[in-house]
Every structure is written in structure tokens, then in C-alpha cells.
């Protein structure tokens, strides 16, 4: 009979190390830069739009079993576009505020 061994739980040195290997930070304060966030939002819009197009194609050709995935994909695409426009609007507001500052 094969002997089984249970691996003991190891202690964490600090809570700040949790998830540090997963996220690459590039901003000045250790957070992601605005360019990275904006790029990710644009990629998210492209991904959700292509997924919606694929779901609509599958529905129109009769290759999809559950028709509720198409409205869900449409809502997801709409939300991603709304998020991108909100980011753009906030960036423009911040830019105009910076321009208004007199030196």
C-alpha cells in the first residue's frame, strides 16, 4: 500500500505579498497606468463585440441551443462600451481641469 503524505499549511510572511506575482504594476504609485487601463477597456470592447457577433451568427444559423446567450452577450457588449465612454469622459474632464490651472 502506498503511503500518503499531507502537505502542511505554510505561513504567510505578510498580507501584501498575496497576489503580487499575478499583477504587473507600472504606474508611479505602484498601480497600473492609465494607458494600461484604457488599453484593457478597448480590448474588452473588441472582445465583447466579436463575441456578440459570433453568438448572433450561431443563433441565425441554428447552431446554438440556448437563445438567452445572445441577449446576455449584447448586454455585456453594451456595458463594456459604456465603461469605455465613461473612462473617456473622465479623462477629458481631468484634462480640461489640468488645462484650467493657471501657473
Residue of 68 and 31 predicted with greater confidence: 68
Q: What is the Cα–Cα distance from 100 to 74, expressed in whole angstroms?
A: 39
Q: What is the Cα–Cα distance from 9 to 12, expressed in whole angstroms?
A: 9
Residue of 1 and 58 predicted with greater confidence: 58
At 34-85, the pLDDT tens digits run 889 889 999 999 999 999 999 999 999 999 888 899 999 999 999 999 999 9
Q: What is the pLDDT of residue 32?
A: 83
Q: What is the pLDDT of residue 33?
A: 85
The arithmetic mean of pLDDT across residues 16-44, rounded, is 71
The dihedrals phi and psi of 66, each to the nearest 5 degrees, come to: -115, 120
pLDDT at 89 over 90: yes
Amino acid at each position: 500500500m502506498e503511503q500518503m503524505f499531507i502537505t502542511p499549511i505554510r505561513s504567510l510572511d505578510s498580507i501584501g505579498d498575496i497576489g503580487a506575482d499575478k499583477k504587473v504594476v507600472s504606474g508611479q504609485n505602484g498601480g497600473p497606468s492609465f494607458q494600461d487601463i484604457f488599453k484593457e477597456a478597448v480590448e474588452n470592447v473588441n472582445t465583447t463585440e466579436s463575441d456578440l457577433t459570433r453568438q448572433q451568427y450561431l443563433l441565425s444559423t441554428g447552431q446554438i441551443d440556448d437563445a438567452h446567450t445572445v441577449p446576455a452577450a449584447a448586454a455585456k457588449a453594451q456595458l463594456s462600451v459604456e465603461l469605455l465612454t465613461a473612462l473617456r469622459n473622465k479623462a477629458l474632464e481631468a484634462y480640461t481641469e489640468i488645462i484650467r490651472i493657471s501657473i
